[in-house]
A and B are shown apart, each in its own frame.
Chain A
Amino acid sequence: MRRRKFLKGAGAAAGAAIVAPTILSSRGARADTIKVGAMHDRTGSHGIYGKEMDDAIKFSIDEINASGGVLGQQLELIAFDTASNMQNYAQYSQRLATQERASVVFGGVSSASRETARPIFDRYKMLYFYNTFYEGGVCDKTVFVGGETPAQMIGPALDYSMKAFNAKKIYTMWADYNYGHICSQWFKKFTEANGGEVVATEFYPLDVTDFSTTITKIQEADPDMVMSGLVGGAHIGFYRQWPAAGMLGKIPLASTVFGPWEKSFLKAEEIEGIVSSFHYFQTMKSAANDDFVSRWHAKFGSDYAELGTLAVCTYNAPWLWKAAVEKAGTFDREPVIEALESGISVDGPGGRVSIDAKTHHNVMSTAIAEVRDGQFDIVKTNADVHPQDTAEVCDLIANPNQATQYIPEI
């Protein structure tokens, strides 16, 4: 009984949006520029990921404006540095929703930041794009995800590395927050489906810097492969201490997170052979990518750090939105969502990305890379990988009134 009562209350709470329409009614009808919001951690613990995302959103909006804007109107970008602080996410989300009345918001780096912002955008009925690779499962009518889910990253990479290294016993280590916990569940599921076994699942707080105990434990367990889902600045210590203990090359190392961000801290000889998988690597060979990188360097300087999938997924999102707005012929949220669900796609630097209507995630190609001489060497590409994990549980067409995140059940 209590529970039902609560649900009723929660339903009413969702109705808190009643106040929103009166405040937001004028949105889209004012002025000659369209406000677009962005929130990324340029500084703080997630600054190593957020900086290229923040630059990417600026770059993307600039290019859209230079190409004539959206529906003939110029975009005004309001970008905040959230400094890896969740309270900032809450405050800036409220500001973008109720003060600036932005037409769309791009942003969020960690899962925690997305889960802080998402309820606010749900409440004020704001269109929101989250462009970081993450643990999967977000199923929310007003939210579109531009980053990879575990099925898109872990699935293909695991398949590849289990074959390449003939690996059956896998030792896994994860950052101790939702990303790590949920990914570890998916990982276990995928490994078992491939006939392998996860021999250990360890979680590390984000501020752990010393990994010697772990490295010893790994040697004791003697797995065929190690999977790292370590995140952030402090955890870089692992990639330094692993070769220092003479482990590099002895046991193959793969990662769900390791990208140019971690790589920029490390020497080529420390990371030889690490396998990772994303939608985009700067080392991809294609005319679109070459062009993108040279445009980027023209804007930010040719000494800009190596770009990663975070920059490209963030760059693509406004183009997807632009395509949908132009298809809908309006900036209003509901027609734009409808248009986004109608199979919008764009050709980005990493290839074509299209929106999957049921999950609001992207269908995209993913690449598997192995570090060779300090470069991500693309060893395999899979076209049109679907966010299968989320698709199994989420259908926003059949059941549009959802604003939730599913977690895997094992």
Chain B
Amino acid sequence: MDLAAITIIQVINLIASLALLSIGLAVIFGMMRVINLAHGEFLMLGAYAVLVPTQAGVPLWISMFIIAPLFVGIVGVIIERLIIRHLYGRMMDTLLATWGLSLLIVGAMTMIFGNTMEGISTPFGSFTIGSLADSQYKFFTIGITAVVLLVAYIVLKFTRFGLIARATMQNSDQASVLGVSPPAVYTLTFGIGAALAGLAGAILAPISGVLPTMGAAYIAKAFITVIGGGEAILTGTAAASVFFGAINQTTTFFTSSVVGEVALLVAAIILLRLLPQGITGRFFRRGL
């Protein structure tokens, strides 16, 4: 029983982390049709944006919830203005440019910070169920993910920005005829996507080793989750995270972590073959 309870918590935690790691990529892909291959590096920047201020004495929560998203968001806005803006509608070119960006950011961070840097330990301590212990931080990750998804839902559904964003998503020409300025919306969207990646990286920082190459371990998973989810940002990411997260974690538990990873990849191929438009291309079509 203890084992079952802990395992369920771990599965939910993995699903939540997957959703959190992917949501920034999903926002940018869903609204702008841009596949941001520098997403892993945005996560990494977020992690550094927690580490550096915290070590300078800034309280952890301020760096995690304010500095990291803000900093990466600003980086996102600058990148959008300088590079992405010129490549709209050329999906492959944006993919290549953001991949170049990913290399460039890794290189720059290696030059600035080197390969080693003391991290921050995981806050909160542990909990026990029967004889088994695990980290309380898992509940924190799950909670934050729930809040992020909820806020995103409210913003998209009930605010003026959400309305404009959805309109631009569905038909940018018509939206601009109605007086909306798509460039401004795109800049803001890219910034928000980057900020979400920064936040995810910040949440990741206290449970991993922070180094310039860390993004590579996450990009493929986030990429597959977003594409597997399809066009609807929130429902797609959530559904795909549940699907892939459950498959990965259960297989890992019963076999080994390699089989877990391979199972996730095979599931992705089968999913895309059966549902070429992603999960939300067939189900939850009216989701956000």
- Interface residues of chain A, those whose CB is within 8 Å of chain B, are 42-45, 47-48, 51, 176, 202-205, 207-210, 212-217, 219-220, 222, 233-237, 240-241, 243-247, 250, 261-262, 264-267, 269-270, 305
Contact of B116 among A48, A208, A222, A244 (CB under 8 A): A48
Contact of A265 among B6, B110, B138, B210 (CB under 8 A): B210
Q: List B contacts of A219 (CB < 8 A).
A: 131-133
B213 nearest CB across to chain A (Å): 6
* Closest residue on chain B to residue A237 by CB atoms: B208
Asked if B3 and A208 sit within 8 Å, CB to CB, the answer is: no
Chain B interface bracket (under 10, 10 to 19, 20 to 34, 35 or more): 35 or more
User: Is B119 interfacial (CB 8 A cutoff)?
Assistant: yes
Asked if B209 and A237 sit within 8 Å, CB to CB, the answer is: yes
User: Is B211 interfacial (CB 8 A cutoff)?
Assistant: yes
Chain A CB within 10 A, most for which of B115, B133, B138:
B115
Q: List B contacts of A243 (CB < 8 A).
A: 121-122
Instruction: List B residues 1-59 near A (Cβ within 8 Å).
Output: 3, 6-7, 10, 13-14, 17
A250 to B134, CA, bound (A): 13
Assuming the A-B contacts A45-B213, A205-B257, A212-B138, are A240 and B208 also in contact, with contact meaning beta carbons closer than 8 angstroms in the complex? yes
* Closest residue on chain A to residue B107 by CB atoms: A43
Assuming the A-B contacts A203-B256, A269-B121, are A209 and B7 also in contact, with contact meaning beta carbons closer than 8 angstroms in the complex? no
Asked if B208 and A209 sit within 8 Å, CB to CB, the answer is: yes
Asked if B121 and A233 sit within 8 Å, CB to CB, the answer is: no
Asked if B132 and A203 sit within 8 Å, CB to CB, the answer is: no
Asked if B6 and A246 sit within 8 Å, CB to CB, the answer is: no
B132-145 CB contact bits vs A (8 Å, 1 = yes)? 11110110000000
Q: List A contacts of B127 (CB < 8 A).
A: 246
* Closest residue on chain B to residue A42 by CB atoms: B115
Assuming the A-B contacts A216-B134, A233-B213, A244-B126, are A267 and B207 also in contact, with contact meaning beta carbons closer than 8 angstroms in the complex? no
Q: List A contacts of B217 (CB < 8 A).
A: 207, 209, 234
User: Is B206 interfacial (CB 8 A cutoff)?
Assistant: yes
Contact of B258 among A45, A205, A216 (CB under 8 A): A205
B107 nearest CB across to chain A (Å): 8
Instruction: List B residues 206-243 near A (Cβ within 8 Å).
Output: 206-211, 213-214, 216-218
Contact of A270 among B14, B121, B258 (CB under 8 A): B121
Q: List B contacts of A209 (CB < 8 A).
A: 208, 214, 217-218
Asked if A234 and B209 sit within 8 Å, CB to CB, the answer is: yes
A208 to B221, CA, bound (A): 12
Asked if B261 and A265 sit within 8 Å, CB to CB, the answer is: no
Asked if B10 and A266 sit within 8 Å, CB to CB, the answer is: no
B231 nearest CB across to chain A (Å): 28
User: Is B252 interfacial (CB 8 A cutoff)?
Assistant: yes
Assuming the A-B contacts A176-B258, A261-B116, are A212 and B13 also in contact, with contact meaning beta carbons closer than 8 angstroms in the complex? yes
Asked if A220 and B132 sit within 8 Å, CB to CB, the answer is: yes
A44 to B6, CA, bound (A): 35
User: Is B120 interfacial (CB 8 A cutoff)?
Assistant: yes
* Closest residue on chain B to residue A216 by CB atoms: B6
Q: List B contacts of A205 (CB < 8 A).
A: 257-258, 261
